[in-house]
Amino acid sequence: MLERRDSLLRLLRRRGDWTVADLADELDVSRRTILRDVNHLRERGFEISGMSGPGGGVHLEATSVMITSHLDTDEVVALILSVAISRATTWIPFAEGAERALAKIEAALPKQRVSELQRFMQRVLIGDSTFDLRNTASRIDPELVATFEKAFTSSQLLAFSYVDREGRRTRRRVEPHGLLVRAPLWYVIAWDPRRDGPRLFRADRIRRPSITEQTFLPRPHELVTRICPDARSTIAGRSQRVRLPRFC
């Protein structure tokens, strides 16, 4: 879907006389899909006009291309998350400059999207570093954070393959409720409906994350309290570093 919308943007930038039918033929999708994608791009901040009849079509206003218009959802989430972590720790420099840049990005986002991202960031916890485990950490699936954010925002279960410390691979379907950062390790804070309890999943052991159709009711306080009794959100206005219990 993201690739198709990126392709649609490239087409609109190249020409200003596209019709919906032409775009549908070019991308091999239905007219309804094109209209839905155009509405999505408008929500992201693009000014796209549409006129029916002879000489009409779909036109991208050049003046509407702002910095946030060049960023996909996962890129915006990555920037916000990086800045939030930098200002919540004492060992990453340049946090002040990064925060000013983030403020400009947030100012250009739709209000609803800003609200969603702020709610997401309140579920990010920063704990003590675990640099003694740095040699055990492996690459994190690049799709994980964006997929987690979408699942959390829409209150839909997150599905993924998981390899535990013994090397056993299982398929999980959980409620995503938070992210715990203990550099260089990341964890997904989740509620496992099958086991009826909270679980921590190391992010670098998660593969092929996806969003399911099944929804859930957020349980913001119960989950964090049961997993990390002394923890609190680090991303709420001016963040402060949180010290978590050893078992977190």
Closest by alpha carbon to 189, among 148, 237, 138?
Answer: 148
pLDDT tens-digit map of 8-20: 888 887 777 788 8
pLDDT bin (cut points 50, 70, 90) of residue 129 is low
Domain boundaries, the chain: 2-65, 73-227
Give the global pTM. 0.61
pLDDT tens-digit map of 190-240: 999 998 888 899 999 999 999 999 999 887 666 666 666 555 454 443 333
Tokens at 125, concatenated = 């916890």
Q: Are strands 124-126 and 169-182 parallel, antiparallel or unpaired?
A: parallel
Instruction: Give the pLDDT confidence score for residue 79 in this predicted structure.
Output: 72
pLDDT bin (cut points 50, 70, 90) of residue 242 is very low
Contact (CB, 8 A) for 192 and 172: yes
pLDDT tens-digit map of 130-148: 656 556 678 888 888 889 9
At the second CATH level, the architecture of 2-65 is Orthogonal Bundle (1.10)
| Contact residues for 105 (Cβ-Cβ < 8 A; gap 6+) | 67, 68, 71, 76, 79, 80
| Contact residues for 55 (Cβ-Cβ < 8 A; gap 6+) | none
